[in-house]
Structure 1
Amino acid sequence: MEIKRRKFQGVLNILSFNRQFYFFGLLVLGLIMLFQYVFNWEFELVLLIIVGFLYGLLAPLLVSAYVYDFSKFYEFNWLNDLQLNKNNNLNIVNINAGFDETSFILKNKFQQSNLKVFDFYDESKHTEQAIKRARKVSLVYPNTQRINTNAIPINENTVDILFLLSSVHEIRKNKEKIVFFNECRRVLKHNGKIVIVEHLRDLPNFLAFSIGFTHFFSKQTWKKVFKKTNLKLKEEIKFTPFMSVFILNK
């Protein structure tokens, strides 16, 4: 089963999950325009401030439309370039952070495989308001299991492909990341692969999300985590300038 996405669903998700930022941003913008009218502030300065605010509000929406709505990311044809084993009887795991837009699509791509879905969201640790809102509207894949990041309930050396699609940045502490990736390594077969998709804390994402890019982690941070958990970074692919795909193995 493949879930058809609505037009501009990526943009609508950004607006819905981060609506408090847009509410306060528009409120401040309105106050600036009001004060300029009342106090007759210097027009050029006010115009510069307004342009800056509009950029901060609109750039994330435009980039999200490009990445999530027009790049065909959710068609998952980019998986064809990763040289993944397409045998019928694969053991596949997809782990999310409480918001799942990918499991039904993965099952459609790997129809004969055994897909298990896990959700590591813990409201005491993962406190982002956006992910709390996302959980309320997320489709839940059948038999999705809630787990802790320190224990994936699968036997070791049994998983062919483990997907972490825009999820592991929700694990904010490096110590927890290391524990989690050690678990991922434990369950992975010797010839298995971990597929990670993440925005990075880099220049393109700064230009797209301004201060919001701090919600992501740098490539160097991820590489340190991979090294500490004895996972090899086999390949990195840029899917648009704003997203990175990491392929790991033992």
Structure 2
Amino acid sequence: METNRTKFQGVKNILNFNRHYYYLGFGALILFSLVAYIFEIPTFWNQLVIIFILLGLAMPLLVSAYVYDYSGYYKLEWLENKRIKTSNSLSIVNIHAGFDETSHLLNKKFPKSNLRVFDFYNPKDHTEIAIQRARKEGINHSKTEQISTDLIPLETNSSDLICLLSAAHEIRSNQEKVIFLKECKRILKSTGKVIMVEHLRDLPNFMAFHVGFTHFFSRKTWKKSLKQAGFSKISEEKFTPFLSIFTVEP
């Protein structure tokens, strides 16, 4: 099913899927205000703490608006820099964790290509609250097929392009990540590419998401996992300071 992104869709997603974080944040704000009033905490320190809490709540929303609503990320024009010809007939695989905002965009971008869409979500192992909410409220591609991370039901050397767009970090186990990436390598043609988009556990994302940046993995972790999976050519390009686009080849 095709869906159109609404204004501030990225911000709405952050608020909706991570609302527990905002409940806790506003609860902390109210609690601190009461403590400050009761114990007469000096105005300077009172205001400093309140500003810190409000920035912690606002920064993820501001960054999400920038990255997902204003940067042009969902236009997928950045794919053209990867020497992938949209006019060709390609075998494309898009793999996600149950929240799919890109398959219908890939269909439009590659109208002559054959697109397969897979969902690797496993409620036993992938237990993040945010992705559980996203799955319940998202609208996925009508031809989405459920898979496990250790088996992608495609022939060896059959895919030209594999897209992992803000999805692979939902695989929390390093061992499971490597097994999954090995499957990606198996189905990839020798001339094919894996395009993986991820936030990283780095300083810009710490400034944006604070403790929430631990949900992501570091550049070192991703490169190590990709190399363990057998990939030999790994390049990275920044799309805004907060997103990394990895182009991976056999």
Give the structure-2-normalised TM-score.
0.97
d(CA) in 1 for partners of 2:154 and 2:135?
24
Tell me, in whole angstroms, the C-alpha distance in 1 between the residues paired with 2:143 and 2:209. 35
Aligned twin of 2:152: 152
Does the alignment pair 1:176 with 2:205?
Answer: no
Matched, 1:162 2:159: no
Partner in structure 1 of residue 7 of structure 2: 7
Match of residue 240 from structure 1: 240
Following superposition, the deviation at residue 87 of structure 1 comes to: 4.5
2: CA distance, partners of 1:73 / 1:16: 20
**What residue number does 1:107 align with?**
107
Question: How far apart are 1:52 and its partner, in Å?
Answer: 1.0
Mean alpha-carbon deviation: is it higher for 133-142 or for 215-224? 133-142
* CA distance in 2: counterparts of 1:155 and 1:45, whole angstroms: 62
Structure 2 residue aligned with 1:130: 130
CA-CA distance at 1:143 after TM superposition: 1.6
- Which residue of structure 1 lines up, in the alignment, with residue 228 of structure 2? 228
The DSSP-based 3-state class of the residue aligned with 2:200 is: coil
TM-score of the superposition, structure 1-length normalised? 0.97
Q: How does 1:168-207 map to 2 (within 5 A)?
A: 168-207=168-207
Question: Structure 2: how far apart are the matches of 1:153 and 1:147?
Answer: 8
Asked if the contact 1:169/1:216 (under 8 Å) is kept, the reply is yes
Residues 2, 108 of structure 1: 8 Å contact kept: no
The separation in 1 between residues aligned to 2:23 and 2:104, in whole angstroms, is 33
1:213 is matched with 213
- Output the amino acid matched with 1:137: E
Aligned to 1:79: 79
Find the aligned partners of 2:215 and 2:8 in 1 and give their Cα distance. Answer: 22
CA offset digits 1:181-239 (Å, max 9, x no partner): 10000000010000000000000000000110000000000110111111133421100
Query: Please, which runs of 5 or more residues in structure 1 have no aligned partner?
Result: none
In structure 2, C-alpha distance between the alignment counterparts of 1:187 and 1:138, rounded to whole Å: 27
Q: Residue in 2 aligned with 1:35?
A: 35
Contact 2:2 2:141 in 1 (8 A): no
SS at match of 2:6: coil
Bigger shift: residues 233-242 or 101-110: 233-242
Please give the secondary structure, in 1, of the residue aligned with 2:89.
Answer: coil
Flag the 1:2–1:233 CA change in 2: closer, same or farther, 3 A.
farther
> Aligned with 1:164: secondary structure?
strand
Partner of 2:119: 119
**Distance in 1, Cα, partners of 2:191 & 2:87:** 13
The match for 2:20 is 20
- Could you tell me the percent identity over the aligned residues? 52
* Matching residue's letter, 1:121: Y
- Deviation for aligned residue 1:138: 1.2
Which residue identity lines up with residue 24 of structure 1 in the other structure?
L
SS in 1 for 2:164: strand
State the Cα deviation string for residues 112-165 of structure 1 (Å, max 9, x = none).
Answer: 100000000000000000000000121111221110000000000000000000
**What's the C-alpha RMSD, in Å, of the aligned pairs?**
1.2
The corresponding residue for 1:95 is 95
Letter of the 1:44 partner, please give it. F
Q: Is the 8 A contact 1:201 1:213 kept in 2?
A: yes
Moved more, 44-53 or 187-196: 44-53
2:239 counterpart letter in structure 1? F
Aligned equivalents of 1:108, 1:89: Cα separation in 2: 13
Q: Secondary structure at the match of 2:211?
A: helix
SS at match of 1:160: strand
- The number of aligned residues is 250
In 1, the alpha carbon distance for the partners of 2:218 and 2:148 equals 24
Q: What is the DSSP-based 3-state SS (H/G/I as helix, E as strand, rest coil) of the residue aligned with 2:196?
A: strand
Counterpart residue type for residue 74 of structure 2 = Y
In the alignment, what sits opposite 2:139?
139
